[in-house]
């Protein structure tokens, strides 16, 4: 089962994302501001649902509707339902578990699929580190790409167990594939390990009680890169991504650290190379 994602950038009044998982479709509405008339917003959503069913030819009971609102703390990771229904999907050569109903997100960020493919292509013979790893899909691609080892770090036990299932589904077992439950920022400061390839997709903001400090990706990204460089072997690569609107990377600061940066305009991503 393969996955397809689409958004409606040319129709800004329809602020939705549509993800298709074979005969299932997840429609995510981004909650309109209070300045938008509630009746108009509701009608637009009904229009999207009707068009999705008609154009994609799916059964109405195969459509899952979710509303995304600004979340605080860890609310975005809390369960919405308790169905526990997982389905297997394919992404390039990887097999992954997704859950369409229990959480706001399905367990697979489709906007990262090209990045995951790149990681798979870059990982052969390398020690790979995946930070803020979510369900570990990047680790799966690195492992399938021939990584010598994968280290998957996240603060959530739920998502690490999901990551373990994803790794096991692809035959990636053994001591070379480690999963670690930890405050990522604290772990970065404490560890002395080194890696050839690092992928990090930090939250835009976090003040979780389980973290030692609050984190703001705009304010703290250079400090984060400083910690990452210490773990990066000579000639290694950091792939950094974030979803903050208007984010500005401190390229001069990166250069001062000895990191050469390249930018992906379609996504806030940068690769840093040690000299």
The residue ranges of every structural domain in the chain are: 3-69, 87-273
Nearest to 113 by CA among 266, 10, 274: 266
Residue 266: band (very low, low, confident or very high) from pLDDT cuts 50, 70, 90: very low
pLDDT of residue 85: 86
From CA 130, how far away is CA 142, in angstroms rounded? 9
Q: What's the token pair of residue 195?
A: 């890696």
pLDDT of residue 204: 82
Higher pLDDT among residues 81 and 221, named by residue: 221
Give the pLDDT mean for 87-106: 94
All residues at 6 or more sequence positions from 273 whose CB lies less than 8 Å from its CB, including other chains:
235, 236, 237, 259, 260
pLDDT of 16 above 80: yes
Name which of 55-69, 113-127, 190-204, 250-264 the model is least confident about.
250-264
Higher pLDDT among residues 234 and 273, named by residue: 234
pLDDT of 102 above 80: yes
pLDDT of residue 111: 85
Q: What is the pLDDT of residues 158-199, one digit of tens each?
A: 999 999 999 999 999 999 999 999 999 999 999 999 999 999
pLDDT of residue 127: 99
Residue 131: band (very low, low, confident or very high) from pLDDT cuts 50, 70, 90: very high
pLDDT of 68 above 70: yes
Work out the angle at residue 236's Cα, subtended by the Cα atoms of residues 218 and 186, and round it to the nearest 5 degrees. Answer: 50
pLDDT of 202 above 70: yes
Residue 83: band (very low, low, confident or very high) from pLDDT cuts 50, 70, 90: low
pLDDT of 128 above 80: yes
**Antiparallel, parallel or unpaired: β 195-200 and 232-242:** parallel
CATH number of 87-273: 3.40.50.150
Name which of 135-144, 209-218, 236-245 the model is least confident about.
209-218
Q: Model pTM? A: 0.85
Q: Are 21 and 60 in contact (CB under 8 A)?
A: no
Share of the chain above pLDDT 90, in %: 58
Please state, rounded to an integer, the average pLDDT across all residues of the chain.
86
pLDDT of 268 above 80: no
Q: Which CATH class is domain 3-69?
A: alpha beta
Which letter does DSSP use for residue 155 in this model? S
Higher pLDDT among residues 121 and 263, named by residue: 121
pLDDT of residue 57: 94
pLDDT of 79 above 60: no
pLDDT of residue 10: 53
Strand partners, 130: 152, 199
All residues at 6 or more sequence positions from 204 whose CB lies less than 8 Å from its CB, including other chains:
216, 217, 242, 243, 244
Nearest to 219 by CA among 233, 203, 195: 203
């Amino acid at each position: 089962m393969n996955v397809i994602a689409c958004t409606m950038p040319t129709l800004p009044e329809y602020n939705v994302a549509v993800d298709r998982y074979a005969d299932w479709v997840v429609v995510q509405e981004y909650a309109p501001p209070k300045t938008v008339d509630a009746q108009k917003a509701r009608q637009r959503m009904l229009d999207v649902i009707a068009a999705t069913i008609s154009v994609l030819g799916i059964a109405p009971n195969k459509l899952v509707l979710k509303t995304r609102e600004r979340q605080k703390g860890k609310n975005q990771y809390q369960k919405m339902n308790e169905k526990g229904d997982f389905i297997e999907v394919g992404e390039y050569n990887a097999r992954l578990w997704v859950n369409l109903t229990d959480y706001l997100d399905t367990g697979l960020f489709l906007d990262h699929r090209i990045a995951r493919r790149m990681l798979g292509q870059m990982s052969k013979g390398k020690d790979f580190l995946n930070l803020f790893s979510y369900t570990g899909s990047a680790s799966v691609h690195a492992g399938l790409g021939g990584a010598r080892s994968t280290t998957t770090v996240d603060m959530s036990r739920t998502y690490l167990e999901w990551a373990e299932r994803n790794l096991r589904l692809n035959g990636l077992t053994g001591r070379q594939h480690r999963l670690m439950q930890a405050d990522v920022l604290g772990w970065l400061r404490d560890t002395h390990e080194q890696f050839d390839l690092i992928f990090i997709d930090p939250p835009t903001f976090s003040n979780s009680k389980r973290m030692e400090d609050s984190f703001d990706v705009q304010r703290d990204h250079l400090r984060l890169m400083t910690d990452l460089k210490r773990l990066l072997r000579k000639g290694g690569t950091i792939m950094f991504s974030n979803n903050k609107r208007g984010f500005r990377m401190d390229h001069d600061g990166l250069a001062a650290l000895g990191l050469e940066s390249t930018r992906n305009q379609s996504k806030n991503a940068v690769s840093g190379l040690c000299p």
